[in-house]
Amino acid sequence: AAEPAYSFAAGPARLPDAVLARAGEALFARGGDGAAAIERPFTGDAFRATLAHARERLAALLALPANYRILFMAGGAMQHFSLLPMNLLGASRRAAYADSGYWSRRAIDEGWKQAAVSVVATPPAGAPAAPDVSPGSGWDIPADAAYCHLTPNETADGVAWAALPDTGAVPLVADVTSCFLAAPLDVSRFGLLYAGAQKNIGPAGLSVVVVRDDLLERARPELPAPFSYAVQAAQDSCVTTPPTAAIQLAALVFDWIAERGGLPAMAAANAAKAARLYGFIDASGGFYTAPVRRDCRSPVNVRFHLADSVQDAVFAAEAERRGLFHLRGHPRVGGLRASLYNAMPMTGVDALVDFMADFMRRRG
């Protein structure tokens, strides 16, 4: 039999095998009502039951405190970092943002359109790394900041935060797009979390927002209803037709995570995959380099490169011939990147490491 092929894309990313196997029947098979799941009205009982199931499963996976709401909304993560100021500034004009790489900078750029932005932390000089969060590290969050935004896993830079900062009374808001559901998360540390679906939740076109009740009161009344977290929360994410097929698939993904042992099991599997790949890179005698500082390496977006960038392109092209796809780094960052989200099995990492060893033998 042919070797299986693997996509290491940063997103849209691989879905769990079991979810793909179930999706045909669950989404596309017609029922006695003459409709398949993707054909059913969002106002009907069947879709509402799926939505409730998705919400309850996700709440259980997150051990969600009672004062948080889960929203399923159309659009991606960028929609949310663009909508944040309108929803969360309230009476304030100011918002604090930590700069840790490409995606947090995109959020900052959007923040500036509506708020006075204070950049309160920047990455250290030298190897790519997350800002220092240790006490006394100089985070100076203005008292009038409505929130402090950070990106705990920088998908493009391959940088993850080793710890979260203490922002005092200012609510922490996090873009968890590429780390959501990859490990347990203490929701109570955050005022609001959001994630585009296309890494660990399901297909693109859906995003998940987790928001603390009291912050919903800040939404501006002139905000268009579909973009208002308060209105969406009040109407169970159904202000407008939600992405029903994507929610149905996300529900299957949440079931799969629960069946596999929940977020602790995801974290253990992800740590083992990351250890295997970084371990190989670090032991390659400099043939491969992982540029991110060790204590800030993302477990799910593994960046590496060869000695010269021409070799990176040769590597990526040869990898494809061996069934290993989408290993090019983010265009703004360069180099190579292997994304190892929940659905990437260890066999995929083994196949990548085998290829890397073979490439090194032939070129080293």
β-pairing, 324-325 with 6-7?
parallel
6 binds ligand PMP (CB under 6 A): no
Cis peptide before 12 (omega within 30 of 0): yes
**Least distance to ligand PMP from the beta carbon of 153, Å?**
7
Shortest approach of ligand PMP to residue 196 CB, angstroms? 3
Contact 290, 297 (CB under 8 A): yes
What are the E-state strand segments in the chain? 6-7, 68-74, 94-98, 116-121, 145-150, 153-154, 159-160, 172-175, 192-196, 206-212, 301-304, 324-325, 336-339
Q: Does 270 bind ligand PMP (CB under 6 A)?
A: no
Q: Is 175 a catalytic residue?
A: yes
Instruction: Tell me which of 151, 167, 200, 339 binds ligand PMP, using CB under 6 A.
Output: 151
Residues 59 to 78: which contact ligand PMP by CB under 6 A? 76-78
Q: Please pick, among 175, 255, 273, 312, the residue that the annotation labels catalytic.
A: 175
Over the window 86 to 125, marking each residue x when it contacts ligand PMP by CB under 6 A and - when it does not, the resulting string is -----------------x----------------------
Q: Which of 128, 196, 243, 291 binds ligand PMP (CB under 6 A)?
A: 196
The least CB distance from residue 217 to ligand PMP, in Å, is: 26
Binding-site residues: 103, 155, 175, 198
Distance CA 2, CA 212 (A): 49
Which residue is catalytic, options 139, 199, 255, 273? Answer: 199
Closer of 77 and 96 to ligand PMP (Cβ): 77
C-alpha separations of 156 from 141, 179, 333 in Å: 26, 13, 7
Residue set of the binding site for pyridoxal 5'-phosphate: 103, 155, 175, 198
Position 185 contacts ligand PMP (CB under 6 A): no
- We find the least distance from the C-beta atom of residue 11 to ligand PMP, in angstroms, to be 5
295 assigned to active site: no
Q: Which of 50, 100, 155, 342 binds ligand PMP (CB under 6 A)?
A: 155
11 binds ligand PMP (CB under 6 A): yes
177 binds ligand PMP (CB under 6 A): yes
For residue 94, what are the β-bridge partners?
Answer: 116, 145
Measured distance CA(28)–CA(25) in Å, rounded: 6
Contact between residue 364 and residue 287 where contact means Cβ atoms under 8 Å apart: yes
Helix, strand, coil percentages (3-state) for the chain, rounded to 5, are 40, 15, 45
Known catalytic residue: 199? yes
Count of CB atoms situated within 10 Å of the CB of 17 = 12
Query: Which residues are at the interface with ligand PMP (CB under 6 A)?
Result: 10-11, 76-78, 103, 151, 155, 175, 177-178, 196
